[in-house]
């Protein structure tokens, strides 16, 4: 049920866009006769199956927490009681880690065009997360076949970390820096790792042909619009590593 759970953020974006369409079309006419968002507000996935906790199998709503299993780098849908079991800092031997639900927009993040070019990432989106098992930061980018690890030189990434103390705030394995430089964007976010998986799912679900097609880029734009709505701007003191 992993994919079904990750669709929560995607479905909420679809619902907002559907609401805009309904406002513009008060008659509510839809050629298919179905909910134009494609989402089931009862907490079911797109196949009509109820979302369930992957630890205890209890039914859960579409908007739920995730636990990351670092050994396989996969999120698991969790009910509230199971999520609370892992709310403490991870201990040695813990199989799961609770994915945070905080989202920060980083208006003061330092990453100019020259530094970005030095990272040699072939697309204009990427996410970086500290992998505790490997003891290093891993940078990946979304593609039509899934997430791809970028071969970034350690010295180039070290320069980014030195310029941005906020990266020390990332919780290992479960939080990421998300970079969006598509079109004219120069946006940086601190997000739960499952948001990054959701972005990967957007590309995998909507990519067509060699260049992706207009639909996929519309969906990517909607993803970041929804993320901006949900995220809070990080205060300057926090982004510079100054306690507040």
Q: What is the pLDDT of residues 118-145, one digit of tens each?
A: 999 999 999 999 998 888 999 999 999 8
Average pLDDT, the chain: 80
Instruction: Let me know: does 46 contact 27? Beta carbons within 8 Å.
Output: no
Q: Which residue has the higher pLDDT, 48 or 235?
A: 235
Q: Is the pLDDT of residue 12 over 50?
A: no
Question: What are the pLDDT digits (tens) for 108-125?
Answer: 999 999 999 999 999 999
**Tokens, residue 139:** 């940078």
d(C-alpha 140, C-alpha 121), whole Å: 9
- Which range is least confidently modeled, 14-18, 66-70, 189-193, 198-202? 14-18
pLDDT band per the 50, 70, 90 thresholds, residue 73? confident
Q: In which element (H, E) is residue 142 found?
A: strand 136-143
pLDDT at residue 71 in the model? 74
d(C-alpha 64, C-alpha 83), whole Å: 9
**Tokens, residue 142:** 């979304």
Q: Is the pLDDT of residue 100 over 60?
A: yes
Give mean pLDDT, residues 81-100: 81
Q: Which residue has the higher pLDDT, 112 or 72?
A: 112
pLDDT band per the 50, 70, 90 thresholds, residue 243? very low
pTM (two decimals): 0.75
d(C-alpha 74, C-alpha 220), whole Å: 22
pLDDT at residue 113 in the model? 95
Q: Which residue has the higher pLDDT, 2 or 117?
A: 117
pLDDT at residue 90 in the model? 67
pLDDT at residue 150 in the model? 95
pLDDT at residue 87 in the model? 83
Q: Which residue has the higher pLDDT, 78 or 62?
A: 78
pLDDT at residue 142 in the model? 94
pLDDT band per the 50, 70, 90 thresholds, residue 237? low
Question: Is residue 18 classed exposed, middle or buried when 0-12, 13-18 and 19+ CB atoms within 10 A define those classes?
Answer: middle
Q: How would you write 56-113 as a 3-class SS string?
A: CCCECCCCCEEEEECCCCEEEEECHHHHHHCCCCCCCCCCCEECCCCCEECCCCCCCH
DSSP letter (8 states) at residue 43 = S
pLDDT at residue 13 in the model? 43
Instruction: Let me know: does 95 contact 71? Beta carbons within 8 Å.
Output: yes
Question: What are the pLDDT digits (tens) for 213-227?
Answer: 999 999 999 999 999
pLDDT at residue 93 in the model? 59
Give mean pLDDT, residues 201-223: 92
Sign of CA dihedral 36, 41, 127, 139: negative
Pairing of β 146-149 and β 136-143:
antiparallel
Pairing of β 175-180 and β 125-131:
antiparallel
């Amino acid at each position: 049920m992993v994919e079904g759970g990750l669709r929560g953020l995607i479905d909420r974006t679809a619902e907002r866009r559907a609401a805009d369409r309904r406002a513009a079309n008060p008659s509510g006419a839809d050629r298919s006769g179905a909910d134009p968002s494609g989402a089931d507000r009862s907490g079911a996935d797109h196949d009509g199956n109820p979302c369930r906790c992957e630890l205890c199998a209890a039914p859960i709503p579409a908007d739920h927490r995730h636990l990351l299993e670092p050994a396989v780098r996969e999120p698991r849908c969790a009910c509230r009681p199971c999520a609370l079991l892992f709310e403490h800092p991870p201990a040695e031997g813990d199989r799961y880690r609770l994915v945070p639900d905080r989202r920060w927009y980083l208006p003061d993040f330092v990453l100019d065009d020259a530094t970005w070019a030095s990272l040699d990432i072939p697309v204009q989106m990427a996410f970086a997360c500290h992998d505790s098992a490997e003891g290093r930061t891993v940078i990946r980018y979304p593609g039509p076949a899934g997430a791809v690890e970028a071969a970034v030189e350690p010295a180039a990434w070290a320069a980014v970390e030195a310029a941005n103390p906020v990266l020390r705030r990332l919780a290992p394995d479960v939080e990421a820096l998300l970079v969006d430089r598509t079109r004219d964007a120069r946006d940086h976010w601190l997000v739960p790792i499952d948001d990054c998986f959701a972005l990967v799912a957007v590309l995998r679900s909507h990519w067509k042909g060699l260049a992706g097609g207009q639909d996929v880029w519309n969906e990517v734009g909607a993803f970041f619009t929804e993320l901006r709505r949900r995220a809070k701007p990080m205060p300057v003191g926090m982004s510079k590593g100054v306690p507040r």
